[in-house]
Structure 1
Amino acid sequence: MYDMPKKNTLTLRRVFSLLLTYVMLCVCGGVALTAMLSPLVFGVNSVAKAVVPSLKVEGVNFDVTSLPQKSVMYASDGTTKIAEFYADNRTVVPLKQISKPMQWAVVAREDRRFFQHNGVDVQGVMRAFFQTFVKKGDMQGGSSLTQQYVKNVLSMQARDDDDPIAQYHASEQTIARKVREMLIAVQMEKQYSKAEILQGYLNIAQFGNYNLYGVESAAKRYFNTSAKDLSIVQAATIAAITKNPAKYDPSDEGNLEESENQRNIVLDLMLQEEYISQEEHDEAVNTPLKDTLNIQNVDSGCQVAGDAAFFCDYVTHQILNNKEFGETEEERNRLLKEGGLTIVTTMDVNANRIAMETARATIPPDDETGFEVAIASIRPGTGEVLGFGLNRTYDATDLAKSDSTRTAVNYAVDQVDGGGWGFQPASTWKPINMVAWMQKGKSINQTLRNSTSISQSKFNCNGYEFGGTWSLQNAGGGNVVNETPLQGLVQSHNTVQASMASQIGLCAIADAAKDMGYHNSIQGKEDVYDETSFQPSMVIGSAQASPLTMANVYATIAANGVECTPIAITKMTDQSGNEYKVPSANCHQAIDPAIAQTTAYALNQGVTRGIASGAQLANGRKTFAKTGTNEDTYMLTAGFVPQVSTFVAVGNAETPVSFDNKRINGVYYSSWTGSYIAMSAWKNFMQNYLDTAQIPINNDYGNPDNKYLTTSSTTSKTTTSNTN
């Protein structure tokens, strides 16, 4: 008979070999510095200047400025926070901006001989060995603070590289991992100071649930303070968490008792290491943990941006769609969530707030009709988007699927920017026709002979041909046989628009629209010449446009003919202060100033003596506005003063639904038009915003050029006075 081999012999040998390896590495590593940290180790400028530019050991980057950091989005004032974005909720700070109690607490808790060893704590290894393998107790790590820093960096790098094998090896409970961490830790201690290593650890360690990393984020989360102001009791609370972030996170009420117990253990260790006095210890221990907390919301992204959420979503799309910020959308998303960006937007806090309030007051989210209200406002001559208003709650979760008052679709913008299919602008398109008319050198007082039936071949241009006959009429039926373009705009008649287009061709109108900043809202069909929109009916607003695009078209008229691409970002920097190139408004003279002024004059005439009279703003402020009604499905109003241009759309944004014979926000009409709800919403927003922002009255704008008012000798003489 053979004797059975004894069990565990090989395991014991391997463990003993590991112990010897630990000791050898520790001895070979040399003697570490024993001095306490000096505040002179770091500079006094930015975070980037406060740390070593490139901490690299064995090909692994230990530079704390390269750690994933949250990005913060601000309103135009640069101080009002809209939202934060992160994969890891982290804000990197230099050691000089971390309180001494916080430094003491983490050293006392994690590695009390940190300032004596050279990367591997021999006594800690011995203790862990005997506790685990001799006493057969719980598994002990024996890792120094430096080793823990190494482990965190390796894990983070594996996550960033999306390398599951590396992620496994970075956290596996094996001898190989321990040896690798020790080797790198010893090398690090030869190259970098204790201060640099401690700083790295304090910025990378996990201090709670919700992807909470680094002491600065922890200080904000638990106490609504900064790392530099952490007290003894606060520091001890945070330092206790790293051992088990899920179990010791004090923001979970179920953890409070154990969190306090762990905090007190840290306080005991701080007293033992003589970091604090007996009196400080006793006072801290006797303070109930729950009385010290000031828990802050750490949810991220546009979901928690409140009324700024739709604007936030628009800015996010501006970043994710722009190759200036990365070759792929994945790279751009990583930049947003890990790049530590400071994003200053164009959002005017008052404009956005008032737009949201106006939208909800116009048609409440739970109105029985379910109609959307979408408002977009822009600053003429700059391209700066001021704000959006929607009568919905922004919600990108599954809850929006079952709750019609919630949506993540911003109906005020193009589909590519997170919007829907847009709205047919109807009669709000008509100023574009007038611009095209004058660009052909024609007078807005030229009398035209109009008809309810017109051959579509008269719209042919540049190789585009249209067949058949177009039958149309004015709102309410009928036609005005002899009418000028000015009269047609003031009274919003359709037949005169067809007459104008038949003389100058549809291409002239399409080109004018493009000059003014128009494009279709449907993704992939943005060009005004796309067959879905380039039809004769385009002249009475049958295309699909977002409220933002139409607000920008009117902004071109308001800015003396200067067209700008809408922008939402004014400045974007990384954590080191390096600036990114943000999208430009590309402002340029798009149409003749005389044409812009004359078109503005015509719009004002529509307010003073036409169907847009209800849009007149208070205190005699010169007002430029145009209403629109798309059959029985959309109500619209566009308009401006020289400083603000705004567009309002009302209707079912997903599928056209008739609003006739419906009670909307408690009011019933058998037939609704743009001069009802949309115009009232436009006026309410404009008046409230202008008053709140204290924007001065400027009544000098809208002076017509005489050459566009006087008809030629070959046309019927119709002066301005004849049209009154």
Structure 2
Amino acid sequence: MRRMSKKKQKRTRERKNVFALLLAYLVCILAGGVVASGFLMPFVVATDQVAESASPSLTVSEIDFNPNNLPQQSKMYASDGTTLIATFYTQNRIVVDLSHVSQYMQQAVVAREDRRFFQHSGVDVQGVLRAFVQTYVKGGDTQGGSTLTQQYVKNMLINEATSNDDPIGAYHASEDTISRKVKEMLIALQIEKKYSKSEILQGYLNIAQFGTSVYGVETAAEHYFSKSAAELDLGEAATIAAITKNPAGYDPTVHPDAAQEQRNIVLDLMVECGFTTQAEADAAKAVNIADMLHVKDVPVGCQTAGQAAFFCDYVVHKIENSDVFGATAEDRQRLLYQGGLTIYTTMDVDAENIANAAVRNGIPENDPSGFEAALASVEPGTGKVLALAINRTYNALATASDTETSINYAVDQVDGGGGGFQTGSTFKVMNLSTWLTNGNGAKVALPTSTRYDTSGFECNTTGADSWAVQNAGGGTVNPETPEHALMYSHNTTQATMGQRLGLCKIADTATAMGYKNASSSGSDLHTTITPTNLIGSGYASPLTMASVYATIAANGMHCDPIAITRVTDSSGNDMAVPSANCTQAIPANVAQTVAYIMYEGKVGAAYYSQLNGVKTFAKTGTADSYFMLTGGFVTGAATYVATGNEESLQSFDNMTINGVRRATWDGSTIATPIWKEFMNNYIATGKVAHDENYGQPDASLMTSTGQGQWRTTTTGLGMRQVQIS
């Protein structure tokens, strides 16, 4: 017996499969229904009536087929509510109600995909039989028998699998098998019983793919024609409706000739269906598709947010890190990229633009020194983050150059930042705050030394038994008051204050004021504090330090930094957002007194930080020769600037920065000019409130008395303070 050729075997197998598929369709339509005893052949049955009477037994659990619940893009806005910062999506989609889709668009899709959509009950047996005859009896082009409802079901199944990161499920939802078709049919029949035709059409128009990265009719209308779906005319609607058959191949921006041919086919179909006249269709065909397009791209993520990219990245991390937005990180990320959120942030557009200009004017992005400049500004009393800026271009891709990075040096590591900058003398405001909070006077004359016995500091003291310390100019000032110690930024007096108080109290007050280490592995100061922290050896982010200074500016009220004021879901309902958790960190009289002494510092360490015609509260800092810093405030804005190299320690000594070479640099020569440029220009916008009467010292704190009496002893390890009463 002669064997059949492989080609003939394949043709026979295909016909058997298709015939089996046809039978399966019909069986499924009848599943659970009553079959008339006279039923002999499927062709005899009034197919639509049979389909409508069917009651399928199959149910699909854990899949949401609600046409209104589709993944859609989220948008992030600045504090003005209108400036768009970024758009997020896995599927670029804006869900709209059917009433906001033009009649032309609705008719074009029905004509293209399922002209009997309003007659059948989810499965069009006539269409299946017609497709079978056309393809396998007449030998014409391959025809599909799926209804618009079935296509909607298929898209929803694929979407569900994709949302759950299930590529196998997505494959099975689209593979060409009888079981998949059967499943689609049964679900389609259920869908038609639960939802109206209008709801199903709306669902399809919102889930269908209209280009390589374009999902939903509203996004398609905006992308191709820069208008809403409600405004689409006949030719535009036919163009979009044609794309779904081959989203990549019929994209008019990529394949205009193929797209135009398919548009014309849809127009002819619309004429056949009676949706438009031949004259109207011919007029639409006469327009070249290239002349119709007004393309508007929808960029995705912080990568496209320009100078606001680092602020954007901070907001994304706050969403991904907060259980307010979901139980797991995966849930929170899915919500951001698929939940259709509208996110209103605290970012002030003017502040952000001014901040970015200031850090680049201070240290240009491509400066040969390679130093980083990072700035953070916070509104005292609310915790609202006004601006975040670094002198780098945001780039999260592997191709990032030396002047590009995705590390946000202005924030903590957990929020996308690095290891932080050493705080230097800017930490000293926390020492003074602790001193005054614990009942000690600002004018107490304290004995100082250049060597201290570390056993006297208490609270997790580790390392050497003694600590050698001196002031920036060498030696010590003995005795000296805490007031002058901050005004002139002397180190030795900080050591005496810390030894008398104990480091645990310093950690308590600093933490209450908002301080934490930048590193996510050891953020709690209590577990890391050593005597050297008193003069700024710890690493913190500019945002953390701006928050600390904001506490002093707000009468001692500390508010956690917040970047989000409001979030609405895809239905416009308000969602919970992270709270600023405002608490009284230090007494108001302490905050006022510390502010007063900072203002007094204009005759000393803060001389170069004074703003134009405004009462200024500031403190500079220099951490060895590696980090240069300035922090300060007016009552409406607290700002902190840090400069240096987070990635690898690099000395400022003998460096040329922005064309200027110095043998030595300090906070006042590099960080302060950036700080002043930002503060002066932001205040000039008129948006910054300021109380010129702020900083009134409490007389009870500006005294030469303190709690208890102390005996100063000198051991072989250095000076030690011992309380005797």
Q: TM-score if structure 1 supplies the norm length?
A: 0.90
- The Cα shift of 1:221 comes to 1.4
Mapping of residues 632-647 of structure 1, within 5 Å: 632-647=625-640
The aligned amino acid for 1:146 is: T
The aligned amino acid for 1:229 is: E
Unmatched 5+ residue regions in structure 1?
Answer: 34-55, 717-724
- The Cα shift of 1:187 comes to 3.4
- The Cα shift of 1:58 comes to 4.3
Task: Indicate which of 591, 595, 612 corresponds to 1:596.
Answer: 591
Contact 1:448 1:482 (8 Å CA) reproduced: yes
- The Cα shift of 1:433 comes to 0.8
Q: Please name the residue that 1:433 is paired with.
A: 431
| Compared CA separation, residues 224 and 693, structure 1 to 2 (3 A) | farther
Q: Please name the residue that 1:51 is paired with.
A: none
| Compared CA separation, residues 133 and 506, structure 1 to 2 (3 A) | same
- In structure 2, C-alpha distance between the alignment counterparts of 1:146 and 1:465, rounded to whole Å: 71
Task: Indicate which of 181, 193, 196 corresponds to 2:196.
Answer: 193
Task: Indicate which of 404, 407, 422 corresponds to 1:409.
Answer: 407
Task: Indicate which of 493, 497, 508 corresponds to 1:496.
Answer: 493
Unmatched 5+ residue regions in structure 2?
Answer: 30-44, 53-57, 711-725
Q: Please name the residue that 1:72 is paired with.
A: 75
- The Cα shift of 1:121 comes to 3.1
| Compared CA separation, residues 642 and 697, structure 1 to 2 (3 A) | closer
- The Cα shift of 1:10 comes to 6.0
| Compared CA separation, residues 2 and 244, structure 1 to 2 (3 A) | closer
Task: Indicate which of 443, 446, 456 corresponds to 1:458.
Answer: 456
- The Cα shift of 1:270 comes to 2.1
- The Cα shift of 1:431 comes to 0.8
State the secondary structure of the residue aligned to 1:399: coil
Corresponding position: 1:512 with 2:506: no
Q: TM-score if structure 2 supplies the norm length?
A: 0.90
- In structure 2, C-alpha distance between the alignment counterparts of 1:265 and 1:369, rounded to whole Å: 62
1:533-576 deviation digits (Å, cap 9, x = unpaired)? x1111110001101000000000000000011111111122112
- The Cα shift of 1:242 comes to 0.4
Q: In terms of mean alpha carbon deviation, does 488-497 or 559-568 score higher?
A: 488-497
The aligned amino acid for 1:435 is: S
State the secondary structure of the residue aligned to 1:449: coil
Task: Indicate which of 233, 236, 253 corresponds to 1:234.
Answer: 236
- The Cα shift of 1:457 comes to 2.5
Corresponding position: 1:209 with 2:212: yes
Contact 2:48 2:125 (8 Å CA) reproduced: no
- In structure 2, C-alpha distance between the alignment counterparts of 1:10 and 1:528, rounded to whole Å: 73
- The Cα shift of 1:646 comes to 0.4
- The Cα shift of 1:136 comes to 3.7
Q: Please name the residue that 1:722 is paired with.
A: none
Q: Please name the residue that 1:285 is paired with.
A: 285
Corresponding position: 1:613 with 2:607: yes
State the secondary structure of the residue aligned to 1:483: coil
- The Cα shift of 1:696 comes to 4.4
- The Cα shift of 1:488 comes to 1.5
Q: In terms of mean alpha carbon deviation, does 424-433 or 274-283 score higher?
A: 274-283
Q: In terms of mean alpha carbon deviation, does 199-208 or 565-574 score higher?
A: 565-574
- The Cα shift of 1:616 comes to 1.3
- The Cα shift of 1:453 comes to 2.1
1:370-395 deviation digits (Å, cap 9, x = unpaired)? 11000011010111111101100111
- In structure 2, C-alpha distance between the alignment counterparts of 1:265 and 1:286, rounded to whole Å: 13
- In structure 1, C-alpha distance between the alignment counterparts of 2:222 and 2:14, rounded to whole Å: 46
Q: Please name the residue that 1:170 is paired with.
A: 173
Task: Indicate which of 639, 661, 674 corresponds to 2:667.
Answer: 674
Task: Indicate which of 177, 180, 184 corresponds to 2:183.
Answer: 180
| Compared CA separation, residues 465 and 189, structure 1 to 2 (3 A) | closer
- The Cα shift of 1:234 comes to 1.8
Q: Please name the residue that 2:484 is paired with.
A: 487
Q: Please name the residue that 1:30 is paired with.
A: 49
- The Cα shift of 1:271 comes to 2.8
Q: Please name the residue that 2:552 is paired with.
A: 557
CA RMSD of aligned residues (A): 2.4
- The Cα shift of 1:290 comes to 1.8
State the secondary structure of the residue aligned to 1:350: helix
Contact 1:345 1:570 (8 Å CA) reproduced: yes
Mapping of residues 358-377 of structure 1, within 5 Å: 358-377=358-377
- In structure 2, C-alpha distance between the alignment counterparts of 1:123 and 1:701, rounded to whole Å: 82
- The Cα shift of 1:354 comes to 1.3
- In structure 1, C-alpha distance between the alignment counterparts of 2:428 and 2:348, rounded to whole Å: 29
1:662-681 deviation digits (Å, cap 9, x = unpaired)? 11011111100000110000
- The Cα shift of 1:128 comes to 2.1
Corresponding position: 1:579 with 2:574: yes
Q: Please name the residue that 2:647 is paired with.
A: 654
- In structure 1, C-alpha distance between the alignment counterparts of 2:202 and 2:624, rounded to whole Å: 66
Task: Indicate which of 99, 108, 111 corresponds to 1:108.
Answer: 111
Alignment: residue pair count: 684
Contact 2:51 2:123 (8 Å CA) reproduced: no
Contact 1:350 1:693 (8 Å CA) reproduced: no
| Compared CA separation, residues 499 and 20, structure 1 to 2 (3 A) | closer
1:254-296 deviation digits (Å, cap 9, x = unpaired)? x122112222222222233232234432332222222222222
The aligned amino acid for 2:541 is: S
- The Cα shift of 1:19 comes to 3.4
Q: Please name the residue that 1:121 is paired with.
A: 124
Q: Please name the residue that 1:477 is paired with.
A: 474
State the secondary structure of the residue aligned to 2:248: helix
Corresponding position: 1:260 with 2:260: yes
- In structure 2, C-alpha distance between the alignment counterparts of 1:335 and 1:312, rounded to whole Å: 16
State the secondary structure of the residue aligned to 1:679: helix
| Compared CA separation, residues 3 and 353, structure 1 to 2 (3 A) | closer
Contact 2:516 2:524 (8 Å CA) reproduced: yes
Corresponding position: 1:139 with 2:142: yes
Q: Please name the residue that 1:157 is paired with.
A: 160
- In structure 2, C-alpha distance between the alignment counterparts of 1:362 and 1:299, rounded to whole Å: 30
1:131-184 deviation digits (Å, cap 9, x = unpaired)? 322344443212221121111112212223344443232111123322332233
- In structure 1, C-alpha distance between the alignment counterparts of 2:276 and 2:347, rounded to whole Å: 48
The aligned amino acid for 2:348 is: D
- In structure 2, C-alpha distance between the alignment counterparts of 1:3 and 1:472, rounded to whole Å: 98
| Compared CA separation, residues 181 and 446, structure 1 to 2 (3 A) | same
Contact 1:204 1:214 (8 Å CA) reproduced: yes
- In structure 2, C-alpha distance between the alignment counterparts of 1:666 and 1:221, rounded to whole Å: 46
1:583-629 deviation digits (Å, cap 9, x = unpaired)? 1111011111000000000111112x1221222111x2111000001
Corresponding position: 1:449 with 2:447: yes
1:47-76 deviation digits (Å, cap 9, x = unpaired)? xxxxxxxxx964443212321122111112
Contact 1:32 1:116 (8 Å CA) reproduced: no
| Compared CA separation, residues 208 and 465, structure 1 to 2 (3 A) | closer
Contact 1:443 1:708 (8 Å CA) reproduced: yes
- The Cα shift of 1:236 comes to 1.5
- In structure 1, C-alpha distance between the alignment counterparts of 2:430 and 2:4, rounded to whole Å: 96
The aligned amino acid for 2:578 is: P
Q: Please name the residue that 1:47 is paired with.
A: none
- In structure 2, C-alpha distance between the alignment counterparts of 1:163 and 1:503, rounded to whole Å: 61
- In structure 1, C-alpha distance between the alignment counterparts of 2:500 and 2:15, rounded to whole Å: 98
Contact 1:64 1:92 (8 Å CA) reproduced: no
Contact 1:29 1:190 (8 Å CA) reproduced: no
- The Cα shift of 1:465 comes to 7.1
1:22-44 deviation digits (Å, cap 9, x = unpaired)? 467394552899xxxxxxxxxxx
Q: Please name the residue that 1:274 is paired with.
A: 274
| Compared CA separation, residues 634 and 466, structure 1 to 2 (3 A) | closer
Q: Please name the residue that 2:378 is paired with.
A: 378
Q: Please name the residue that 2:697 is paired with.
A: 704
The aligned amino acid for 2:454 is: Q
- In structure 2, C-alpha distance between the alignment counterparts of 1:466 and 1:520, rounded to whole Å: 19
Contact 2:47 2:126 (8 Å CA) reproduced: no
Contact 1:101 1:235 (8 Å CA) reproduced: yes
